[in-house]
Amino acid sequence: MGSRARARRAAAVLGFTGLLCAVLGAVMIVVVPTLIKQQVLKNVRIDPSSLSFNMWKEIPVPFYLSIYFFDIVNPDAILLGEKPQVQERGPYVYREFRHKSNITFNDNDTVSFLEYRSFQFQPDKSHGLESDYIVMPNILVLAAAMMMENKPMSLKLIMTLAFSTLGERAFMNRTVGEIMWGYEDPLIHLINKYLPNMFPFKGKFGLFAELNNSDSGLFTVFTGVKDFSRIHLVDKWNGLSKVNFWHSDQCNMINGTSGQMWAPFMTPETSLEFYSPEACRSMTLIYKESGTFEGIPTYRFVAPSTLFANGSVYPPNQGFCPCLDSGIQNISTCRFNAPLFLSHPHFYNADPMLAEAVLGLHPNQEEHSLFLDVHPVTGIPMNCSVKLQLSLYIKAIKGIGQTAKIQPVVLPLVWFEESGAMEGEPLQTFYTQLVLMPSVLHYAQYVLLALGCVLLLIPIIHQIRSQEKCYLFWNSSKKGSKNKEAIQAYSESLMTSAPKGTVLQEARL
């Protein structure tokens, strides 16, 4: 009897525990998604108390700028009207350091900041040194010649004489360091003296000189503290809510974020919009596929084929024209009117005629497409590789002798890749706080619910089995009494039906 009571108490305890687990699991199913959402919102907003604030302020991810030059093989033949031939050189790799300063929180739920960048050459990651010589178009000469195309012939002849006096030619042989960070050129001083508004720079000229130890403009973005719906979106850039480089309101709009973080809780229908000061425009990337990075789920976003399409192929881009072939964007309006063009490397995703016009180009998706891998729950990039190409439109200008017989061509100068991937302690912290813990809570709620249901079955099964035992005992007792009564009745019937002598005789035997 005591063991039966103990079993009954144990079953009751397990049943009560199961009820608690089931209730807790059911409550977690309702509450946990809200808690996770609140935790994510708390940690991705731009606020000194958020987990991601220091990552936003001092980007811990090691970024690298890899430069590939198009070394011109036949400069003299180009002057005679032949097709250009180039050889890709590089990469020349630089470690990129970024940090934000002048951080000011405003009353309208925005924060303003300047982000400074600096670059350090990495010889161990590079295929070459900064002292390597590269043959490239003389951008100053050829750009100045293009700007003089519609000027009076007398001015063109004066410029030709000036070029000759200064020893300027259509092509130059400079070191990687000079091309990147600047070189002294007497032409700059001459032009600034007589045509002060032609070039905006006064000292050295280099393709990336204005990027080193400088900022990318004053960004004002929404923090998401008061209004989550606008988190990370750009409010203004350099005090402007739209730029004036292009020929339509749509193209001049400043859309999306500053390109470092996006709104959380993405879906495959989400697109990544950001404003790029270097491209002087807003860009949009589209979802391609789901994947993982170091165990963290990600969405991969890529550039649509229409990113640099001209207006005839993609009408919304009409405002970025005047255009040449599709697949390249004219950025002369924001680059001192020099005939510079932006595209994917090797004219990938562009009109095939562009790559066919230059020998040595081999566009392909694997090497020349860009991507961003973003954690969809937080909107934080995990891994990125942004690849772009800078090209110069050149041709013979009548009256400018240095341009000789150059045939019209968009000639690639360099292509570059900005890449970075989260690693080390920041990656581990991110994984633990924003991936592992939410996953544990997510699965714990279903484990508790399942465990609770199993434990609830124990007292039910115990009760059923107890009832079965009672029934069997009662049934067997009932059958036993019936059998006893039957035997007794049978015995009595024998006694009454048999002759007395027989019984006495049997007794004697």
pLDDT in the model for residue 487:
56
How many residues in the chain? 509
Task: List the pLDDT tens digit at each of the 509 positions of the chain.
Answer: 566 666 666 656 666 676 676 676 677 676 777 777 887 888 889 999 887 888 888 888 899 999 999 999 999 999 999 999 999 999 999 999 999 999 999 999 999 999 999 999 999 999 999 999 999 999 989 988 998 888 899 888 988 998 898 899 999 999 999 999 988 888 887 777 776 766 666 678 889 988 888 899 999 999 999 888 899 999 999 999 999 999 999 999 999 999 989 999 999 999 999 999 989 999 999 999 999 999 899 999 999 999 999 988 899 999 988 778 899 999 988 877 889 999 999 999 999 999 999 999 999 999 999 999 999 999 999 999 999 999 999 999 999 999 999 999 999 999 999 999 998 888 888 888 778 877 777 777 677 667 667 766 666 775 666 665 555 545 555 555 555 555 566 556 655 555 554 443 443 43
Q: How far is CA 304 from CA 64, 90, 311, 370, 380, in A?
A: 24, 27, 15, 10, 21
DSSP H stretches of helix in 333-436: 352-356, 365-368, 424-431
Q: Measured between alpha carbons, how far is 67 from 53 in angstroms, rounded to an integer?
A: 31
Residues with Cβ within 8 Å of 77's Cβ and at least 6 positions away in sequence, in order, are 85
CA 71 to chain centre: 32
Percentages helix, strand, coil for the chain, rounded to the nearest 5? Answer: 40, 25, 30
Terminal C-alpha separation, the chain: 50
For residue 31, how many other CB atoms are within 10 A of its CB?
Answer: 13
pLDDT in the model for residue 477:
54
pTM listed for this prediction: 0.83
Do the Cβ atoms of 174 and 134 come closer than 8 Å? yes
CA pseudo-torsion sign 192, 180, 115, 232: positive
How would you label 426-451 residue by residue, b for 16+ Cβ within 10 Å and e otherwise?
ebeebbebbbeebeebeeebeebbeb
- Backbone conformation region of residue 100, classed left if phi is above 0, alpha if psi is from -120 to 50, else beta: beta
Angle at 134 between CA 132 and CA 137, to 5 degrees: 155
- For the chain, the structural domain boundaries read 1-44+445-509, 61-421
Do the Cβ atoms of 230 and 224 come closer than 8 Å? yes
Q: Measured between alpha carbons, how far is 478 from 111 in angstroms, rounded to an integer?
A: 88
